[in-house]
């Protein structure tokens, strides 16, 4: 205990020192403010459904596709609830996953295997692992909560003619596959335009680009296409989204283990 | 219902009924979803059959298909599901069979749901055996792992409450376990004659069974309690006679079974437990008479996962389970004091390549059952599955006596649509 306290004092004096010399604390609070504003602007969608098509491309340009139906229930003050139902590849048709995401404690996750009619609680530790063999990790596509990262504002930048805040963020989740991410946040709409990911060794790993944003209910922005390139393997994955619907009347009862079993 | 494609009149009628029903469902397919697979299987045995089984072969080809029809109405709250299955086996006339895996209507109300018809239900958490999974009969001719199930006619009501989910079942018809024909392999010796099945209940297969299940989760802990009252899915065997040949005839006693299943999920660890207490009749080893018996059995263990081994995307899981039955050598179950060790590899690649290697080791007589299952996807619509089963050091007094030379390698190539 004594040692911890000592470390804290050292750490806080270091923070104090650096804030005096570089404005570090200001950058941290500005980074957090941007994240909070982005979160605020995406609050109130209540629920959504959409169809997602994943196109996996390897170095030889061979492609694999997956079609997934995604249902989301907004949970105010905690992570959202999500249900993903696989339509293709055909051999896993009907497989579905239910996730209760949380900001700080680990997500709760269940998988439904239709061949055995079995619901399996699965460990959420593999958040850094690939989602369905794609270049997206589970942590990339799970609900983005403010508390999942700490932040630091870096600079303003112009990306393809769009004024952006450049914010560095550090995963709070100890098993994250990343040391840091650099996000370009649209200054007008507070939506991400690009995110660059650095792996556990702090080496450039992936770049995610958001394109074809659409606005729903005059408020919520969703990108029709999300393109992830892995710089280390040369592989890439494109997510194309369609049929977005909001406030469809979904409730908690659509996100429990019984609904997981009958999800189609 | 089970349709034996080789027995005479009644099955023919069932097959027509099945076809008629299929056509009826096709007729309003505008709302419907069809999917399914056709699978080609080759099972190759490494050794010649035992001298006691001259009818058996060294290589078996078969083809199977399962099709699912699904249709919903009123924004997903009402649905119909129909899943017929059929297999044709080169030699085994009992393995050539059809079954309606599912044919049910389901309606979702506020806080509860009702399912009427033929359906499949899974209870449990462990990998090596499935003690608490008692609703559906095992389609024993399909595979040696007992994971293929026959469709069970039922009325199921499921209530979702804050204190857990309660499922109530009325199981309105008994499905007999399927057994291999004389040319089938691996199989019991002597061959089982399903046509001579006997029951404790005078209602025979018409006996109505009841079951009840509660399950809930408390953070990282999942807990299930189950109760079943009705005809045992597990068969006992008595010697019989068919055309002058000795056969085994199945006997299905009544049973009451209470069960518990639990899983604790922490970051890398999954801790699992299944336990049952059963009251039923068994055949006394010494007197060959039916006696009342109660026993306790459990399966418990863990799965530990190394995530992203050697900085790859692959996950490697280590599975260990202990299998116990308090009847010891008199147990009707194969596993009474056994350890299962398993390795699960998931590549997490685009082809979903994965493998599970397992060994179940009998601590009393050193028998070893070895199992390997590996699968991957080819192109978009094809998968290949390799299965290897080995039966090693089978004891001469063991219930597995007779399959010691039945080690096989099986390849399934399946097309999905």
| CB-defined contacts A:B, below 8 A | 99
Higher pLDDT, A76 or A31: A31
Test the B interface: residue of A54, A63, A125, A261 with most B CBs within 10 Å = A125
Lowest mean pLDDT among A84-98, B131-145, B324-338, B389-403: B389-403
Q: Does the beta-carbon distance from B414 to A91 stay under 8 Å?
A: yes
Q: Which of A258, A259, A263 to mutate to test the interface with B (most CBs of B within 10 A)?
A: A258
Instruction: Answer for the pair B130, B138: CB distance below 8 angstroms, yes or no.
Output: no
Which residues in B lie closer than 8 A to residue A65 (C-beta atoms)?
Answer: 380
B136 by DSSP, 3-state: which?
coil
Structure tokens, B94: 């009992």
- B308 contacts chain A (CB < 8 A): yes
**Beta-carbon separation of A121 and B265 below 8 A:** yes
Q: What is the dihedral of CA A36, A39, A44, A49, to 10 degrees?
A: -170
Kindly list the residues from chain A whose CB atom is less than 8 angstroms away from the CB atom of residue B165. 256-258
Q: For residue B5, what pLDDT is reported? A: 43
List B346's β-bridge partners, or say none. B315, B354
Helix pair angle (A2-22, A24-41), 10° resolution: 90
Q: Of the candidates B259, B230, B252, B233, which has an alpha carbon nearest to the alpha carbon of residue B169?
A: B230
Q: Determine the Cα–Cα distance for residues A7 and A231; give it in Å rounded to an integer.
A: 37
As given in the structure block, the two tokens for residue A26 are 């200001």
Cβ within 8 Å, pair B147-A116: yes
- Residues of B whose CB is below 8 A from A174: none
Whichever domain contains B283, its CATH number is 2.40.160.10
Q: Chain B residues with CB inside 8 Å of A55's CB?
A: none
Q: How far is CA B138 from the centre of its chain?
A: 4
Mean of the pLDDT values across residues A136-156? Answer: 91
- Residue B205 forms contact with A (CB below 8 Å): no
- Tell if the CB–CB gap between A117 and B122 is shorter than 8 Å: yes
User: Could you read off the pLDDT of A234-251 as tens digits, one per residue?
Assistant: 999 999 999 999 999 999
The yes-or-no verdict on residue B300 having pLDDT over 90 is yes
Most confident of A20-24, A219-223, B2-6: A219-223
The average pLDDT across B170-185 equals 96
User: What does the pLDDT read at residue B304?
Assistant: 95
- Using an 8 Å CB-CB cutoff, list chain B residues near A125: 267-268, 305, 307
Nearest to A129 among B120, B158, B313 (CB): B313
Looking at residue A207, its pLDDT comes to 98
pLDDT average, residue stretch A64-71: 95
Residue of B nearest to A263 (CA): B76
Beta strands in B307-367 (DSSP E): 315-325, 337-346, 354-362
Q: Does a cis peptide bond (omega within 30 degrees of 0) precede residue B303? A: no
C-alpha span between B256 and B254 (Å, rounded)? 7
B345 preceded by a cis bond (ω within 30 of 0): no
Q: How many H helices and E strands in chain B?
A: 1, 22
What percentage of chain A carries pLDDT values higher than 70? 91
**Domain, as residue range, for B287:** 2-416
Contact A253 B160 (CB under 8 A): yes
The pLDDT, as a whole number, for residue A47 is 96
B312 CB within 8 Å of a chain A CB: no
Pick from B211, B278, B291: nearest CA to B251: B291
Q: What domains does chain A contain, in order, with CATH numbers?
A: 39-262 (2.50.20.10)
Q: Provide the number of structural domains found in chain B.
A: 1
What are the pLDDT digits (tens) for A8-46?
Answer: 555 555 555 554 555 678 899 999 999 999 999 999 999
Provide the pLDDT for residue B12: 43
Query: Residue B328's pLDDT is what?
Result: 87
Identify residues of A whose CB sits under 8 angstroms from chain B CBs: 56, 58, 64-65, 88-94, 106, 116-126, 128-130, 133-134, 175, 177, 253, 256-258, 262, 264
Strand arrangement, sheet containing B245-252:
B198-199, B245-252, B236-242
> What is the rounded CA–CA span in Å between residue B62 and residue B39?
8
Instruction: Average the pLDDT over B118-128 and give the result.
Output: 96
- pLDDT-derived band of residue B7, with 50, 70 and 90 as boundaries? very low
Chain A nearest CA to B381, separation (Å)? 6
Residues of A in contact with B313 (CB under 8 A): 129-130
Which one, of B303, B388, B307, lies nearest residue B347 by Cα? B307
Where helices occur in chain A by DSSP H, the ranges are: 2-22, 24-41, 138-141, 257-262
Across residues A134-155, what is the average pLDDT?
A: 91
Buried b (16+ CB within 10 A) or exposed e, A202-232: eeebbbbbbeeeeeeeeebbbbeebbbbbee
| pLDDT of the residue at B327 | 92
At B368-383, the pLDDT tens digits run 999 999 999 998 899 9
Predicted local distance difference test score (pLDDT) of residue B340: 97
Q: pLDDT tens digits for B267-276?
A: 889 999 999 9
Pick left, alpha or beta for residue A230 (phi over 0 → left; psi -120 to 50 → alpha; otherwise beta): beta
Average pLDDT of B215-241? 95
pLDDT averaged over chain A? 89
CA distance A64 to chain B (A): 7
What number is the average pLDDT over the span B250-273? 95
């Amino acid at each position: 205990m004594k040692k911890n306290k000592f470390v804290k004092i050292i750490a806080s004096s270091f923070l104090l020192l650096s804030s005096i010399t570089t404005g570090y604390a200001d950058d941290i609070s500005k980074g957090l403010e941007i994240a909070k504003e982005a979160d605020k602007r995406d609050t109130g969608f209540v629920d959504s459904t959409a169809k997602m098509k994943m196109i996996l491309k390897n170095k030889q340009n061979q492609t694999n596709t997956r079609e997934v139906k995604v249902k989301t229930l907004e949970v105010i003050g905690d992570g959202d609830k999500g249900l993903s139902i696989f339509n293709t590849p055909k051999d896993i048709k009907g497989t579905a996953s239910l996730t209760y995401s949380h900001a700080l404690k680990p997500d709760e996750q269940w998988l439904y295997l239709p061949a055995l009619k079995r619901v399996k609680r699965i460990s959420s530790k593999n958040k850094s692992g690939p989602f369905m063999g794609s270049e997206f990790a589970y942590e990339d596509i799970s609900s983005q909560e403010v508390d999942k990262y700490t932040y630091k504002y870096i600079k303003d930048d112009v990306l393809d003619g769009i004024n952006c805040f450049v914010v560095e963020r550090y995963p709070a989740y100890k098993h994250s596959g990343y040391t840091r991410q650099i996000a370009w946040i649209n200054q007008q709409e507070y939506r991400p335009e690009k995110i660059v990911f650095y792996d556990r060794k702090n080496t450039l790993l992936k770049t995610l680009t958001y394109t074809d944003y659409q606005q729903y209910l005059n408020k919520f922005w969703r990108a029709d296409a999300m393109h992830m390139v892995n710089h280390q393997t040369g592989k890439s994955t494109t997510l194309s989204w369609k049929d977005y619907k909001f406030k469809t009347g979904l409730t908690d009862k659509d996100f429990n283990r019984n609904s997981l079993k009958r999800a189609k | 219902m089970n349709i034996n494609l080789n027995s005479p009149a009644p099955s023919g009628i069932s097959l027509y009924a099945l076809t008629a029903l299929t056509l009826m469902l096709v007729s309003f397919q505008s709302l419907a979803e069809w999917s399914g697979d056709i699978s080609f299987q080759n099972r190759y045995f490494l050794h010649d059959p035992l001298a006691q089984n001259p009818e058996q072969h060294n290589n078996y080809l078969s083809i199977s298909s399962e099709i699912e029809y699904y249709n919903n109405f009123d924004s997903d709250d009402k649905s119909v599901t129909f899943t017929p299955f059929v297999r044709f086996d080169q030699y085994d006339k009992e393995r050539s069979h059809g079954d309606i895996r599912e044919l049910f209507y389901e309606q979702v109300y506020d806080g509860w749901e009702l399912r009427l018809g033929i359906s499949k239900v899974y209870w449990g958490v462990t990998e090596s055996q499935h003690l608490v999974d008692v609703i559906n009969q095992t389609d024993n001719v399909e595979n040696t792992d007992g994971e293929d199930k026959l469709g069970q006619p039922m009325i199921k009501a499921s209530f979702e409450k804050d204190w857990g989910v309660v499922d109530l079942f009325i199981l309105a018809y008994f499905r007999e376990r399927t057994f291999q024909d004389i040319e089938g392999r691996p199989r019991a010796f002597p061959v089982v004659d399903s046509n001579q099945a006997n029951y404790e209940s005078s209602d025979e297969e018409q006996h109505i069974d009841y079951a009840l299940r509660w399950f809930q989760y408390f953070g990282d802990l999942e807990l299930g309690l189950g109760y079943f009252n009705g005809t045992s899915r597990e068969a006992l065997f008595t010697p019989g006679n068919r055309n002058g040949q000795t056969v085994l005839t199945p006997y299905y006693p009544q049973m009451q079974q209470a069960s518990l299943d639990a899983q604790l999920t922490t970051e890398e660890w999954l801790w699992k437990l299944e336990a049952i207490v059963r009251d039923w009749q068994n055949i006394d080893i010494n007197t060959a008479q039916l006696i009342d018996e109660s026993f306790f059995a459990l399966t418990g263990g863990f799965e530990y996962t190394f995530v992203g081994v050697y900085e790859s995307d692959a996950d490697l899981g280590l599975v260990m389970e202990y299998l116990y039955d308090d009847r010891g050598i008199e147990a009707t179950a194969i596993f009474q004091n056994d350890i299962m060790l398993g390795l699960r590899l998931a590549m997490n690649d685009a082809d979903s390549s994965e493998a599970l290697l397992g060994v179940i080791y009998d601590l009393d007589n050193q028998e070893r059952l070895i199992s390997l299952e590996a699968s991957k996807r080819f192109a978009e619509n094809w998968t290949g599955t390799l299965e290897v089963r080995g039966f090693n050091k089978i004891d001469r007094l063991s219930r597995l006596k007779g399959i010691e030379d039945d080690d096989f390698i099986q390849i399934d190539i399946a097309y999905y649509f």
